[in-house]
Structure 1
Amino acid sequence: MLFLFILSFWGPAVLTSGQVWPLYGTPRKTVNLSNRGHVFQEEGVWNYSTMLLREDMGVLILGARETIFALDLMNITHKKAMVKWAVTSDMQSTCSIKGKTLTECQNYIRILHKMPNGSMLVCGTNAFNPTCDLMSYTDGNLTLESKQQDGKGKCPFDPFQRYASELVDGELYSATSINFLGSEPVVMRSLNENVRTEFTTSWLSEPNFIAMKHMPEGHDNPDGDDDKIYLFFSETAVEYDAYNKLDVSRVARVCKGDVGGQRTLQKKWTSFLKTRLDCPVPQTRLPLLIQDVFLFCPDTWKTCMFYGVFTPQTNMPEYSAVCAYKIQDIREVFSEGKFKTLYRDSSITKWVTFNGDVPDPRPGACINKDARQKGYNRSLDLPDKTLQFIRERPLMDQAVKQSSQQPLVVKKGAAFTRIVVANTIGLNGSSHQVMFIGTASGSVLKAVNYDGQMVIIEEVQLFKQSEPVKILQLSITLGQLYVGSEVATVQMPLSTCEHYNSCVDCVLARDPYCGWNLISDSCIAINNIPQDTHSEVVQNLTHGNVGRCPAVENIMTNKTFYPGNVVRLQCLPGSNLAQVQWSVNNHITAKSNKYQIYNNSLFILNAANSDAGLYTCTSIESSNVIQNVTYNLRLENIMDQNSVLPQVQEQQNTLLALTALVIILTLILLALVVWNFYKGHFAVPRCFGKAEERPQSVSGCQEPLQIGAKNTAGPMEFNRNNNHNRLSGLPDTANQHNGDKVF
């Protein structure tokens, strides 16, 4: 059954495409943060995963574990204020008794929202006892106002469980779990009029909440429609027959003016609808799951799009993707699409398309001009027939399709975690959306889609490979990106044009923020250049045409070698997309017994005098030369050799002197030994027979005499320690003393 579902789910995309799926997964450049940005971290503080941009105050409010910071937006290394919000020892003990670890039983700041009066709502997990408070930033101080309130249903209990929240007109919309065990998911509005979802799997089935976004659809709407709150999440699919649990990505929405029903669905959403989000990548077997969403609105709400990042639902290293969805397409599915209904008979229970009559007013619809004309001014006025229908059938039959024929980005490797999108205008006036994508390996990808062709401009490594990006915040006003992880927070600019070192390199990057100034001979940011100087700047985003660029200069480097050595000539291509080509004296060379090419470097084995010459490394990208480096390889000259000869000669002379000294000392020692033998100073034993042939002798041999010393020790004393084995066959003197006879 699972196979049949997969075939039906992905079949059309796989079978009708008839072509290899284009993958633009290689970043043109891979760089480290280095001096591009700023890094903030506080000793002993972890989990920098909640942010609130207060551009009106010039600060970044940063929520971490038991700590909240106010950082300078222009340079986050400048800490303006800090406040601690730690759990009490009693709360920590209670949490531990309930089976949670010390790490879990702390206060993780999870919600930061700006209130209408300028203060801030802050909520934390508080040792599995979620709590909210109000906070202010005045006179350079962060202050918790000690107006704590219950955070259940607003903030998660578990600090590592996904959640979502949005503050709209002073009311908090949240999606989290409402109980300690995390088994009761809820989507609710609180602070003023509480409304929430039903506790049933047809509404929410083991969801993993991702993001909430407010859409002001009531503004300038000819239908008099209401604003919407859109929720993105993944959950266990109830509509498919499968042996194993299968998760799918969802988008749901509720109406801002929804206050629940009069009798049916009291204080429950009357407008909760959900449907599936499609982001098909044929290389994957199962549907990808949504991980983050960014709402991008270039103009009015009618032009808004949701950018989502998707990853596989298995632990296998597969493809991550970015898909975009038009708000109008989502609205159409909810307002005009068919519903699913649960079909039951004696043998099966499954969700099928509902083809019966739909009540009027339409179930799940907001109160609009048409409803008001029929006398329905609030959700409390809706008839029970409409409410009962939506209570049992909140799931739509049709999925929301992505806005393009294929995902905007597809990449194999580290999973995508977060995304933000910035709009910028090219030199020719064209508008481009630049995606900044966080990864599980601690990097950020900078990518643009040009008419269906994806270009990953660069990948910037911000944290260690084991530290995933947990949050991204974008300041369009300041042109800055703020990135949070478990260990630190990073600030980096959206554009770093000065890092492109040639016209060809600058233009081939196809970075919409940058262009090459022919006058200043540098890559510059184009957003601030005067209109009358546009002709002096080269930028070609669609094709990366470098025709106006001057030829790349050849960099000459002198290098010497000694015969018989292995010579390495290094070559850095300057781009991950470039191919390296080596030539010797203007003749292209390849791998051979003489030359080895490894990691773009050329190795000359057993270099000889004849290997001197010109070795050129040429980097070619898109049929364009982006870098030329020539090594003038020459044999070490006589002057250089003479400069080292005195040192070598000195070392050789020292070695010879030491050798002569050792020989002389050896001869002297040998002469002394011969002279002592000649003078009789060394006695030689005069018998070598076996012991049994020498009775009357203990040792079997006359002891040698020492010249100049009186021998006072008898034979037994002389050999007591040194000849133990030889004495083992003699009679025991102790036994003789006792009168025993030994035979």
Structure 2
Amino acid sequence: MAPSVLVLVLVLLDSSASLPPPRKTFLLNSADRPLLLFSLPDIQNTTTLLLSDDASTLYVGARDAVLSLDVSQSDIISLKNKVQWSPSDSETSDCKYKVKNPSVDCPNFVSVLQLINSTHLYACGSYAYSPHDAFIDTGSFSMVQPSSVRTKTRCPHNPFQRSTAISHDGELFTATTTDFKGEKPQISRHFSKDGRPDVSLDSFISLLQEPTFVSSSLDLSDRKLYFFFSEVGKEFRFVDELHIARVAQVCKDDVGGQRTLQRKWTSFAKAPLLCQLPKQLPFNVLQDVFTLPPPEGNNASDTLFYGVFTSQWSSVPESAVCVFKLQDIRNVFRGNYMTLNTQSMQWSQRQGRPIQRKCGLETASDTDLEEVKNSFLTSRSVTPVGNAPVMVSSEQQYSRVAAMRTQAANGKQYTVLFLLTDSGFLHKVALFDRGARVVEEIQVFTEPQPVKSLILSSEKGVLYLGTSEGVTAVPVTRCSIYTTCSQCVLSRDPLCGWSRSSRVCTRVEDNHEDMAQDLEHGNVEEKCQGQTETSQDQEINVQLNEAVKLFCQKPSNPSALTWTSTRFNTLPEDLFIRPADGSLMFLATADTTGTYRCEAVEDGHREVVVSFNIQLSAAPRSMRPSPKEDREPVPYFKNEPTLAEEPIKATTKTSDPERPTIKDEEDEFKVAIAEVTNHSKDNSDKTGFDKTSRKDSHSLKEPLDGAPTEKSYFSELVVVSLLLVVCICLLALGGLHVWHQSKSEKKNPLVSPGDDSKTIQSMESVPSLSSPEDADPELKVVQ
């Protein structure tokens, strides 16, 4: 057994657990994980991709066009040529009467691209629900055959129906549907050579039941082709239709029988693919298959097929990846078969001598061909390597897969998978002896993409993703994002290792002795001896009672952040706040100065991420005269308004004024806060500390940038003096008025001597200085 297969067996023994979350996450347009996007304003639905043999040209089948892109450089994608290929107005008008949505269904969606030979490219498109094909000269990139040639068996009418095609030595093999409704599946050979006729499936009975074709592969050593698909399993009798993942085989040079099965496949057979955890329902819907050739020098029977499966019974996004070996597929097709009773349409186990299931049955008798015709389903299923999935995800539904082998620093071969999720992320998964591990996830698109394709160039180290938005190039790795030896080793990326001589994380090359890498355990202490650099403290000067926020970014998703200080064994909760983003907030006082270190803990390894040294600037003089020089500073948390540069709404709850609560502190931080940001080494020339300017709460004036100065109250003293003079004058006038009134009463008494009950009405108009209603004098306050 090949070493790579032995590794897979060990992996599968421990694959029952669900896939752990990704270690690193990079969102779209991340500077740490840049992507290369090619798009044109007049081109859409670039969903069919074909890479040339020398990996320098990428052919793209799009909506009403075929493109030729130059991808010879890994960091540049440029347009070489374009062929416009769209239906005529009359053909579009005919399509409008047949489909539900003319603007969506009636353009020409190119779904098949294959190199027929070294000079010509074959293309087939839906062409307004009337499939057409064409040949394109790869040199001049022009059509050499009119696009008016109509075909019915090489690509589907429906542009959103999946199909697969493969070519070899000038011949084209396709698996698609041939009718307008997409209900008649067909596997065919076209452009047959050496005088052989084109062949297809026998239509006398239904050999395929509502299939969805996903992939095809050529086995040159056995001269056979394999087609992977899902279909309805008619061999089972259930209330609900049961979907079954299948693989079908045909012989490449099959020419059909002489009388029975003329121009039909005599070698067609199909077998179930089983992807199932022990004692659980199987993952029975096949989404995609990637063919991984064996290592150079190995037998072709060691070819592996990586398949992505989902379940028709699952109500949540989940999927599994199973690996099938070519030799196991061959053994199943060489085994026993079921027989279909064409009268009752019931399947039963075949009895008697084994059926002749081999290539070259063109001279077989009619009796033998009748047996072949009714016995095309194998009795056994093809089981995966290790009899279990290589990985299972209970949170993601994968739709596409690609795989590559790479040699680690220890000389061992590892497999890396690239899985595309429905949510728009590309997962990079490494397969280890102890199970699968998601090294990183990269966001490649934001909107759901119903049609997409994924092509891997192992030689160039680039993935090409085709969606409706354009063609995206994704490098398989970017080791430079790991800036320390510990992070490089903890990443456990089979493609990356820490170079001890250059002290950088780089792609693993031939000089393995210089590389620090531990994929199975991530042992940093052993691999990074003498490679750890001491983190330099960032000197930060702050004002007394100034709010400080220290930022610290997690180096990976599973790592946990902790803060340590030279002044405290444990940071007191009444002085420090730990928000959910991992930062640290506190007030700058004599008790909170010192060095603060943010440490990340992952897999038992502790590493300093960033370190700050907080120092107080020169203390300002007191705003109130005091004979004591050591008067305590005014607390920051007090019930007075603080005016920030920008208006911020904050809700403050009433609490004990002698000891502010954590909630009060958070609310005060919302009013005015100074932030210290952990900058990357690329921006190391910046201080990383931002102070929020605050206006004086009494004078509402900006403080000077220089040293603090004592506040002047001269203007306020002038205003108060003027108000005092005005009050004295008013009191004097009031006294004169009272004295004048009392003198008048003696001359003119208010009560007449003849009538005790009468009161002089003018008494009511005299204001009383002691009346509560008239107690406030009418004064104008000078601001």
The two structures have a TM-score, normalised by structure 1, of: 0.76
Pick one of 232, 236, 240 that aligns with 2:228.
232
Q: How does 1:365-376 map to 2 (within 5 A)?
A: 365-367=357-359
Q: How does 1:536-555 map to 2 (within 5 A)?
A: 536-546=514-524, 547-549=526-528, 550-551=531-532, 553-555=534-536
Please give the alpha-carbon distance, in whole angstroms, between the structure 2 residues aligned to 1:402 and 1:646.
71
Residue 543 of structure 1 aligns to which amino acid in structure 2?
H
The aligned residue for residue 312 of structure 2 is 313
Q: How does 1:392-471 map to 2 (within 5 A)?
A: 392-467=374-449, 470-471=452-453
Please give the alpha-carbon distance, in whole angstroms, between the structure 2 residues aligned to 1:640 and 1:431.
70
Residue 50 of structure 2 aligns to which amino acid in structure 1?
L
The aligned residue for residue 17 of structure 2 is 22
* Residues 696-739 of structure 1 deviation map (CA, whole Å, 9 limit, x = unaligned): xxxxxxxxxxxxxxxxxxxxxxxxxxxxxxxxxxxxxxxxxxxx
Q: Which stretch shows the higher mean deviation, 127-136 or 169-178?
A: 169-178
The aligned residue for residue 194 of structure 1 is 198
Q: Secondary structure at the match of 1:614?
A: strand
Please give the alpha-carbon distance, in whole angstroms, between the structure 2 residues aligned to 1:330 and 1:39.
39
Please give the alpha-carbon distance, in whole angstroms, between the structure 2 residues aligned to 1:338 and 1:626.
61
* Residues 590-646 of structure 1 deviation map (CA, whole Å, 9 limit, x = unaligned): 895665544341454777653444333211221122443233345565379999799
Q: How does 1:675-686 map to 2 (within 5 A)?
A: none
The aligned residue for residue 675 of structure 1 is none
Please give the alpha-carbon distance, in whole angstroms, between the structure 1 residues aligned to 2:336 and 2:107.
45
Q: CA deviation at 1:103?
A: 1.0
- Retained in 2: the 8 A contact 1:441–1:464? yes
Q: Which stretch shows the higher mean deviation, 293-302 or 119-128?
A: 293-302
Pick one of 343, 348, 357 that aligns with 2:352.
357
- Retained in 2: the 8 A contact 1:275–1:399? yes
Please give the alpha-carbon distance, in whole angstroms, between the structure 2 residues aligned to 1:321 and 1:165.
25
Q: CA deviation at 1:469?
A: 7.4
The aligned residue for residue 125 of structure 1 is 126
Q: CA deviation at 1:25?
A: 3.3
Please give the alpha-carbon distance, in whole angstroms, between the structure 1 residues aligned to 2:182 and 2:107.
17
Please give the alpha-carbon distance, in whole angstroms, between the structure 2 residues aligned to 1:77 and 1:117.
22
- Retained in 1: the 8 A contact 2:227–2:248? yes
- Retained in 1: the 8 A contact 2:402–2:456? yes
Q: CA deviation at 1:275?
A: 1.3
The aligned residue for residue 93 of structure 2 is 93
Residue 200 of structure 2 aligns to which amino acid in structure 1?
R
* Residues 447-486 of structure 1 deviation map (CA, whole Å, 9 limit, x = unaligned): 2211242122111212215346711112233222211111
- Retained in 2: the 8 A contact 1:438–1:469? no
Q: CA deviation at 1:201?
A: 6.9
The aligned residue for residue 66 of structure 2 is 68
Q: Secondary structure at the match of 1:575?
A: coil
- Retained in 2: the 8 A contact 1:65–1:109? yes
- Retained in 2: the 8 A contact 1:284–1:318? no
Residue 417 of structure 1 aligns to which amino acid in structure 2?
S
- Retained in 2: the 8 A contact 1:51–1:60? yes
- Retained in 1: the 8 A contact 2:275–2:282? no
Q: CA deviation at 1:200?
A: 6.7
Q: CA deviation at 1:199?
A: 3.8
CA 646–507 in structure 1, closer or farther in 2 if over 3 Å, else same: closer
Q: Which stretch shows the higher mean deviation, 179-188 or 489-498?
A: 489-498
Q: CA deviation at 1:357?
A: 0.8
Q: CA deviation at 1:380?
A: 2.1
Pick one of 51, 55, 59 that aligns with 2:57.
59
Q: How does 1:602-641 map to 2 (within 5 A)?
A: 602-604=583-585, 610-634=591-615, 637-638=618-619
Residue 64 of structure 2 aligns to which amino acid in structure 1?
E
CA 545–187 in structure 1, closer or farther in 2 if over 3 Å, else same: same
Q: How does 1:494-505 map to 2 (within 5 A)?
A: 494-505=476-487
Q: Does 1:599 align with 2:575?
A: no
Q: Secondary structure at the match of 1:542?
A: coil
- Retained in 2: the 8 A contact 1:284–1:319? no
Q: Secondary structure at the match of 1:387?
A: helix
Over the residues paired in the alignment, what is the CA RMSD in angstroms?
A: 3.6
The aligned residue for residue 264 of structure 1 is 260
Please give the alpha-carbon distance, in whole angstroms, between the structure 1 residues aligned to 2:319 and 2:247.
19
| Equivalent pairs, count | 622
The aligned residue for residue 218 of structure 2 is 214
* Residues 487-537 of structure 1 deviation map (CA, whole Å, 9 limit, x = unaligned): 11111222322221111111122222221111211112222x5x4xx4332
Please give the alpha-carbon distance, in whole angstroms, between the structure 2 residues aligned to 1:578 and 1:485.
34
Please give the alpha-carbon distance, in whole angstroms, between the structure 1 residues aligned to 2:346 and 2:607.
60
Q: Which stretch shows the higher mean deviation, 385-394 or 31-40?
A: 31-40
Q: CA deviation at 1:560?
A: 6.1
Pick one of 191, 208, 223 that aligns with 1:204.
208
The aligned residue for residue 156 of structure 1 is 156
The aligned residue for residue 332 of structure 1 is 331
Please give the alpha-carbon distance, in whole angstroms, between the structure 2 residues aligned to 1:590 and 1:84.
68
- Retained in 2: the 8 A contact 1:210–1:291? yes
Q: Secondary structure at the match of 1:535?
A: helix
Please give the alpha-carbon distance, in whole angstroms, between the structure 2 residues aligned to 1:411 and 1:586.
45
Please give the alpha-carbon distance, in whole angstroms, between the structure 2 residues aligned to 1:391 and 1:166.
25
The aligned residue for residue 44 of structure 2 is 46
- Retained in 2: the 8 A contact 1:286–1:313? no
Q: Which stretch shows the higher mean deviation, 648-657 or 277-286?
A: 648-657
Q: CA deviation at 1:134?
A: 0.3
- Retained in 2: the 8 A contact 1:472–1:484? yes
The aligned residue for residue 570 of structure 1 is 551
Residue 366 of structure 1 aligns to which amino acid in structure 2?
K
Residue 527 of structure 2 aligns to which amino acid in structure 1?
R
Q: CA deviation at 1:578?
A: 1.5
Pick one of 269, 276, 290 that aligns with 1:280.
276
Q: CA deviation at 1:585?
A: 3.4
* Residues 5-27 of structure 1 deviation map (CA, whole Å, 9 limit, x = unaligned): xxxxxxxxxxxx99993223312
Residue 209 of structure 1 aligns to which amino acid in structure 2?
F
Please give the alpha-carbon distance, in whole angstroms, between the structure 2 residues aligned to 1:340 and 1:555.
76
Percentage identity across paired residues of the two chains: 29
The two structures have a TM-score, normalised by structure 2, of: 0.72
Residue 242 of structure 2 aligns to which amino acid in structure 1?
L
Please give the alpha-carbon distance, in whole angstroms, between the structure 1 residues aligned to 2:382 and 2:432.
23
CA 552–580 in structure 1, closer or farther in 2 if over 3 Å, else same: farther
- Retained in 1: the 8 A contact 2:485–2:504? yes
Pick one of 36, 60, 63 that aligns with 2:34.
36
CA 469–85 in structure 1, closer or farther in 2 if over 3 Å, else same: closer
CA 475–19 in structure 1, closer or farther in 2 if over 3 Å, else same: closer
Please give the alpha-carbon distance, in whole angstroms, between the structure 2 residues aligned to 1:170 and 1:561.
75
Please give the alpha-carbon distance, in whole angstroms, between the structure 2 residues aligned to 1:543 and 1:477.
28
Q: Secondary structure at the match of 2:527?
A: coil
* Residues 268-296 of structure 1 deviation map (CA, whole Å, 9 limit, x = unaligned): 21111111111114697453411111111
